[in-house]
Amino acid sequence: MNGPLRDNWEGVFRQYGVDIVFNGHMHWYEHSYVHGSHHVVTGGGGVPLQDPMESVAPGTVCRRHNILHYVRVTVDGDTMRVEMIPVASIYDGGVHPLPDGRPIDPFTVPPSD
């Protein structure tokens, strides 16, 4: 989530100590960290993927385009591990499976104080 939408909600996220926000509108993967909250855009489930925007949102940690993917979230006690799992790359007009399933951009969200 970036731009005016994030600006409108940022106060709420801060007020209530939101650690992570998931958003799926854009058809790519993007992880940003802004004002103490992780923001994950995940839209790589099979619809036509979008080309990257020229501008990069403030706080961007990782961006991936043209990759079909899902996000795996594992909760262990008070800790959450988040990782993007690639399934296939899209290039040269085709879908190319990525069988190793190595996570991209793994990060951990510790408990709030």
**Residue pLDDT, tens place only, 4-46:** 776 788 889 999 999 999 988 778 899 999 889 999 999 888 7
Residue 7's pLDDT is what?
Answer: 77
Ramachandran assignment for 73, one of left (phi > 0), alpha (psi -120 to 50 degrees), beta (any other) = beta
Alpha-carbon separation of residue 41 from 23, 31, 34 (angstroms): 5, 6, 13
**What pTM did the predictor assign?**
0.86
How many helices and strands (H and E) does the chain possess?
1, 8
Boundaries of domain holding 60: 3-109
The tally of CA atoms less than 13 A away on the side-chain side of residue 54 is 0
Give the phi and the psi of residue 54 in degrees, each rounded to 5: -70, -40
Domain count, the chain: 1
